[in-house]
Amino acid sequence: MIRRCTSCGRQNRIPAARLSDAGRCGGCRQPIGPVREPLDVTGAEHDEIVGSTRVPVLIDFWAEWCGPCKAAAPEVARAAADMSGRALVLKVDTEREPDLAARYGVRSIPSFVVLKDGTVVTRHVGVVAHDRLEGWLEQAARS
């Protein structure tokens, strides 16, 4: 994955397994913190992240035309920021990645799936508040 340094703008290649870790920019050596925002991923990126990360992963299945998905987006973003370093939040556009949505049996959106070590531990359909999303991730981390 590529992350841009907020200090110098340099693009840094970060291994998927390290997205929840703090690091340093390869150019200016300033700190690059763990991912604090939802990552919009393709199927291949999903597989790489889920297959290598040590932290729980929340997947938000959504589509641009979906009103409830747009309503859920700020809650998902807040959960990603609040859980930075302890979990990762992925967004999967079901219009662009229908095979990935089918792999998880997604039939309605927004749909949320929480994974720990690549195994589904929680599923939910419909808009929820960030504290509930965070609760699922914390519970997954403890399991």
The one-digit pLDDT tens for each residue of the chain (143 residues) are 889 998 999 999 999 999 999 999 999 999 999 999 999 999 999 999 999 999 999 999 999 999 999 999 999 999 999 999 999 999 999 999 999 999 999 999 999 999 999 999 999 999 999 999 999 999 999 98
What residue ranges define each of the domains in the chain, with the CATH number in brackets? 2-32 (no CATH), 39-142 (3.40.30.10)
d(CA 115, CA 139): 11
Whole-Å CA distances, 95 to 42, 46, 75, 111, 123? 11, 15, 21, 14, 20
pLDDT value of residue 36:
94
β-pairing, 88-93 with 39-40? parallel
Whole-structure pTM value: 0.93
Quick check: is 5 catalytic?
A: no
pLDDT value of residue 143:
86
d(CA 134, CA 114): 10
C-alpha 95 chain-centroid distance: 18
- The phi, psi pair for 88, rounded to 5°, reads -120, 145
Catalytic residue among 5, 25, 28, 69: 69
Catalytic residue among 5, 8, 25, 66: 66
Quick check: is 66 catalytic?
A: yes
